[in-house]
Amino acid sequence: MILPIRAFGDPVLRKTGKEIDENYPDLQQLIDNMFETMYEANGIGLAAPQIGLDLRLFIVDVTPLAEDEDYEDIAEELKDFKKVFINAEILEESGEEWKFNEGCLSIPDVREDVKRKSTILIEYYDENFVKHTETFSDIRARVIQHEYDHIEGTLFTDHLSALKKKLVKGKLTKITQGDVSISYKMRFPK
């Protein structure tokens, strides 16, 4: 089932997600719905708060990037990188900070450069509640950090300089009011 994505300004996007366990009702259905919703919106990541649930759950699928010439050197690693992250905890961020032009399904038509560390060490459970502790780098780390921010109540716009925040303020206000053209289902706060 395709779910409406919550738009900038929705209070759920500012909540810290609650941990869940393997007895969470209809967890696999929720995960399937999240993937379906993300694909419908042409996204590569989606967090539970973006569909109105303040849970520590997010998904990523960067396989479309394997076809992008910008990532040809890591295409092999990207082509099967589809994961579910439950109760994730970033244990360490390391490496050089690098800028990347980020966007978000909850903040359509706004893209800005965000600096993040290049490598992360993260602990999480997969959809079968198997615990993993893994290190990720490159665009995979970037996408995970972006989605992880969502379960912490943080948006990519929070990482912008004061000047950049002022420059996008008008666009963010329009999104909050539903004054945006999108091709996927959204729910607006006003």
- If you average pLDDT over every residue of the chain, what do you get? 96
Over residues 127-151, mean pLDDT: 97
The Cα 143–Cα 38 span in angstroms is 13
pLDDT at 93: 97
- According to the annotation, is 104 in a ligand binding site? yes
* pLDDT band at residue 117 under the 50/70/90 scheme: very high
Over residues 77-91, mean pLDDT: 96
Contact 119/95 with Cβ under 8 angstroms? yes
* pLDDT band at residue 177 under the 50/70/90 scheme: very high
Digit-coded pLDDT (tens) for 11-50: 999 999 999 999 999 999 999 999 999 999 999 999 999 9
Digit-coded pLDDT (tens) for 55-78: 999 999 999 999 999 889 999 999
- According to the annotation, is 146 in a ligand binding site? yes
- According to the annotation, is 150 in a ligand binding site? yes
Q: What is the pTM assigned to this prediction?
A: 0.96
pLDDT at 147: 98
Instruction: Give the CA dihedral 33, 130, 58, 184, nearest 10 degrees.
Output: -20
Contact 90/145 with Cβ under 8 angstroms? yes
The Cα 175–Cα 186 span in angstroms is 10
Of these residues, 67, 69, 112, 147, which one is catalytic? 147
Does 190 score more than 80 pLDDT?
Answer: no
Residue 147 annotated as catalytic:
yes
Sequence letter at residue 90: I
* pLDDT band at residue 106 under the 50/70/90 scheme: very high
pLDDT at 30: 98
